[in-house]
Structure 1
Amino acid sequence: MEIHKTPTAEAGMLIRRPVAEVFEAIVDPAITTKFWFTHSSGRLDSRKEVRWEWRMYGASAMVNVSEIVENKKIVMQWSDPPTTVVWTFTEMPGAETPDGATFLEVSNFGSAGTADEQVKQAVGSTDGFALVLAGAKAWLEQGLSLGLIGDRYPKGVPGR
């Protein structure tokens, strides 16, 4: 019997900040805009819909939060057609930092289309979420805004 697994984007990063601070960085757009999207209609909350914008690209997405477990997990749907994104926050006791550390994982699944299209979307989402996590790490640990998302597809690059 052949088993087919839905193509899933997966990324993870150790962030040397307490879990409550990392969680807040994802739910509070005043923080998230430092490393990911440019504007938001509001804070992430259970059963709430918000709009995220990436104005440098003229793009936006509606985000529907289906579940939040504070400092543990966020489940949301976004895109058109919708996909599911699951954020998992794992406290890392004993990490080499006095304030604690968090392992932040994100997975994105449920893409539509042919198998090849689903794989392409999973690869692209993995790339994007890896940049988001790296940007979050730089901001939360060092206070640095690296501009990773805005620099991913700069104007003038052939084929973009």
Structure 2
Amino acid sequence: MKPQTLEIKTSIQIQKPVHEVFEAIVDPAKMSNYFIVYGSGRMETDTKLTWRFPELDVDVPVCVAKVMNDEYISYYWDNNKKEMLVEMKLTKHGNDTVVSVTEKSAENDEAGIKWLKGNTEGWANFLACLKAWLEYGVHLRKGAFDYRFEKK
């Protein structure tokens, strides 16, 4: 029997202290180094923000639900006119940090499988870019999506 709903779960270990990783996620100036090109404000409990991504030519509304310093961030954003919950948990692992991301949920149908595929790819990219920027100062997203805007 197949599950009724689909959700994304992924994680990565980053060789930086929890607070440094937390700040990289909640501060839009830091997020612009690996995730967004614009953020209207810091992620804080019960705030409404706007994000712009390098690969999208639209503003994405984000409703931050809960932020617990150095531990947890949750927010809602739209996916094809359906509000999706994203939860990020930060766990200390020695001197490092494990970042776990969950996004939920979609129906287990053709549209849901398309969402699962696209957003799983997106969260893997998010975590890899966050790790590369924090550990090595490398901006993996720089120029990564220019081809989408070039005229053919």
With normalisation by structure 2, the TM-score equals 0.88
Rounded Cα–Cα distance in structure 2 between residues aligned with 1:9 and 1:3: 16
Rounded Cα–Cα distance in structure 2 between residues aligned with 1:31 and 1:123: 27
Rounded Cα–Cα distance in structure 1 between residues aligned with 2:12 and 2:51: 22
Structure 1: runs of 5+ lacking an equivalent: 94-99
CA offsets 1:131-159 (integer angstroms, 9 cap, x no match): 011000010001111117x52573279xx
Does structure 2 conserve the Cα–Cα contact (< 8 Å) formed by 1:109 and 1:122?
no
Rounded Cα–Cα distance in structure 1 between residues aligned with 2:147 and 2:92: 35
Rounded Cα–Cα distance in structure 2 between residues aligned with 1:128 and 1:75: 17
Aligned position for 1:102: 97
Aligned position for 2:133: 139
Aligned position for 1:130: 124
Q: Which structure 1 residue ranges, 4+ long, deviate > 6 Å from structure 2?
A: none
SS at match of 1:154: helix
Aligned residue runs from structure 1 range 145-160, under 5 A? 145-147=139-141, 151=144, 154-155=147-148
Structure 2: runs of 5+ lacking an equivalent: none
Aligned position for 1:96: none
Rounded Cα–Cα distance in structure 1 between residues aligned with 2:63 and 2:9: 20
CA offsets 1:21-65 (integer angstroms, 9 cap, x no match): 101111001100100110011000000010001255312211111
Aligned residue runs from structure 1 range 6-155, under 5 A? 6-79=5-78, 80-93=81-94, 100-111=95-106, 115-147=109-141, 151=144, 154-155=147-148
CA offsets 1:75-132 (integer angstroms, 9 cap, x no match): 1100132100000101002xxxxxx110101111123x66221121012111001001
Does structure 2 conserve the Cα–Cα contact (< 8 Å) formed by 1:38 and 1:53?
yes
Percent identity over the alignment is 28
- Which structure has the highest strand share of the two? 2
